[in-house]
Structure 1
Amino acid sequence: MPTTNDKAVVQDYFNTVGFDRWRRIYGDGDVNKVQKDIRIGHQQTVDTVISWLKADGDLSGQSFCDAGCGVGSLSIPLATMGIQVSASDISKKMVEEAQSRAQQTLGQDQNPNFSVQDLETLSGSFDTVICLDVLIHYPDQKVPEMINHLASLAKSRIILSFAPWTIGYMLLKKIGSFFPGPSKTTRAYLHRDFDICDILRSQGWTIERKAMTKTSFYFSRIIEAKRPDA
């Protein structure tokens, strides 16, 4: 059987039929019940991350990487906190939408700095690297490589969120697969909490905080890890 190029599928999806769907979900216009539930869940994940950062005090002037920024749901609030944000996404259309929203909120400010890139090609050095709801597009065998690469860009902290593997969520995913639709989603991969933590710990990171976002149709485990000497 031919292998699936997940990256190409994701890039094509978010530049075509998926873009309009997720732009609506991450916006404030009318959506259906399921989409509204996902919108609420994603915002709760963003709010959790923002609350963690604010609890750490003034972060203005620090450098952050928002890997897989989508339409800027996290990047824009980070910029309003005075954080220097480098935001990227595999989808050109998503980046253009993020730039438009940032301009509406922040004016002509060059922060955040948006670019079209996938996770593998990211480079640089940042105080904090954040990657929310992106690992769902990567199978288990690719996740260690992706996390280790992202972690190599972070000086002191990395924050990840992912769809957690549980029997219940796996059954829900199976049920959903019986109702395919062209604008529904890409292939979704669930990951075990302890696997993600083990990957981080194997590279010398310490798990600092965890949280779980759970709505009817949105599930996301959030993990923050820091370098011991940070």
Structure 2
Amino acid sequence: MNFARQNTVDDKAIVKEYFNATGFDRWRRIYGQGEVNKVQNDIRIGHQQTIDTVIEWLQADGNLAQISICDAGCGVGSLSIPLADAGARVYASDISEKMVGEAQEKAQAILKNTNNLSFAVEDLEALRGKYHTVICLDVLIHYPQEDAAQMIGHLASLAESRLILSFAPKTFFLSILKKIGEFFPGPSKTTRAYQHKESDIIKILEENGFAIKRTGMTSTRFYFSRILEAVKP
């Protein structure tokens, strides 16, 4: 029996169920403008900083209106919508039907024209096609390290020029914080949280023909995300 594969399926099922149920309401509040507690507000600020960093990178290249982008794990459209508004052709997907529905409603309310933005309910492994840039932010935290190579390899096969990833970095300090947090489980903590060594992620990217171009780090009190932009030489 392939236990790694079984674990991936279990994690995927847990994530899908969570974000279509209690998790959807929690994260919609965090990603939105509604009232949240201090911890959730800190996570909201951190996640938005990660979004802002990626948008700044893409805008700095000055070619957004000429490229196609796959936003893998789009959530409620926090990245997809501003990129489409800037002129990029965006294909956005998420494993959660409720998340995708929320993203579509937001896009209709915000954008004057949504012809260059499409949404789909899909998990990472089901994605197909070719895109100039593939972006996957804050998704790897839901999957164990033993499956990261396969998942990143698949995303890399979709990217013609660039792959941008963010993940919870595995450091001694953050590992200790994670252990402490496990002693205080809240009702909304229903998914596993996996950290990844930056060196391991870089090695996987290099094995798939990509080189690191830019790096970033978002660090707040309760949100930590390492951002890597990898390009084909």
Q: Smaller-chain TM-score range? A: over 0.9
Is the aligned partner of 1:183 residue 2:169?
Answer: no
Secondary structure of the structure 2 residue equivalent to 1:212: strand
| 2:163 is aligned with 1:124 | no
8 Å contact from structure 1 (residues 75, 87) kept in 2: yes
1:94, distance to aligned residue in structure 2 (A)? 0.2
Once the two structures are superposed, what CA deviation does each residue of 1:134-192 show, in whole Å capped at 9, x if it has no partner?
00011011000000000000000000000000011111111111111231351000000
Q: Secondary structure at the residue paired with 2:145?
A: coil
CA–CA distance in structure 2, aligned partners of residues 29 and 111 of structure 1: 28
8 Å contact from structure 1 (residues 17, 182) kept in 2 = no
Q: What's the offset of the Cα at 1:102?
A: 0.5
What is aligned with 2:14? 9
Deviations 1:189-212 (Å, cap 9, x if unpaired)?
000000000001112211101010
8 Å contact from structure 1 (residues 205, 225) kept in 2: yes
Residue equivalent to 2:110: 105
Structure 2: distance between partners of 1:157 and 1:198: 16
Q: Tell me which residue corresponds to 1:208.
A: 213
Shift of 1:108: 5.5
User: Partner letter of residue 138 of structure 1?
Assistant: Y
Q: CA RMSD in A?
A: 1.2
Q: How far off its partner does 1:112 sit? A: 1.6
The more displaced of 159-168 and 101-110 is 101-110
Does the Cα contact within 8 Å between 1:212 and 1:220 map onto a contact in 2? yes
Q: Is the 1:161–1:221 Cα contact (8 Å) retained in structure 2?
A: yes
| CA displacement at 1:14 relative to structure 2 | 0.2
| 1:113 counterpart SS class | strand
1:59 aligned residue = 64
1:7 aligned partner, one-letter code = K
Give the Cα–Cα distance (whole angstroms) in 1 for the partners of residues 122 and 115 of structure 2: 18
Shift of 1:62: 1.1
**Matching of residue 90 in structure 1 with residue 85 in structure 2:** no
Q: Within 2, Cα distance between the matches of 1:73 and 1:116? A: 16
Selected match of 2:45 from 33, 40, 43: 40
- Structure 1 or 2: more helix by fraction: 2
- How does the TM-score come out when normalised to structure 2? 0.95
Gaps of 5+ in 2: none
Residue correspondences, number: 227
